């Protein structure tokens, strides 16, 4: 019985030490600051904001909005203080880049 408890304690100590070593110096936090976002907007119904890939353009955002039947689209950025958006565009007019611009 005593040997079984000692084995469990030893295993717990080893696992704890391994977790401490693996996690040492590493941060698992994810930051989205300066991340591009694209909003597809149906003013009377919904706003769908998605993370935009680094290769996304205003045209990509416009196409995304059209694909989900949203008449408007808007380019945005995530900042330390929240979101910033440029002026919205529609099927014929591209949205404007936000200020500050995170890479649009």
Chain segment 6-53, per-residue pLDDT in tens: 555 555 445 444 444 455 555 566 677 899 999 999 999 999 999 999
Name the nearest CA neighbour of 102 among 81, 89, 84, 88.
Answer: 84
| Predicted TM-score (pTM) of this structure | 0.70
Q: What is the pLDDT of residue 15?
A: 47
Pick 93 or 5 by higher pLDDT: 93
Q: What is the pLDDT of residue 31?
A: 74
Domain boundaries, the chain: 29-104
pLDDT tens-digit profile of 58-93? Answer: 999 999 999 999 999 999 999 999 999 999 999 999
- Taking the CA atoms of 72, 77, 83 and 86 in sequence, report the sign of the dihedral they define: negative
């Amino acid at each position: 019985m005593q040997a079984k408890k000692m084995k469990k304690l030893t295993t717990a100590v080893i696992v704890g030490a391994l977790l401490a070593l693996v996690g040492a110096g590493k941060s698992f936090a994810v930051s989205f600051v300066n991340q591009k976002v694209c909003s597809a907007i149906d003013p009377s119904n919904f706003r769908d904001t998605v993370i935009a890939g680094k290769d996304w353009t205003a045209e990509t955002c416009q196409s995304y909005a059209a694909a989900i039947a949203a008449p408007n689209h808007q380019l945005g950025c995530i900042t330390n203080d929240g979101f910033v958006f440029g002026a919205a565009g529609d099927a014929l007019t591209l949205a404007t880049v936000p200020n500050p611009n995170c890479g649009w």
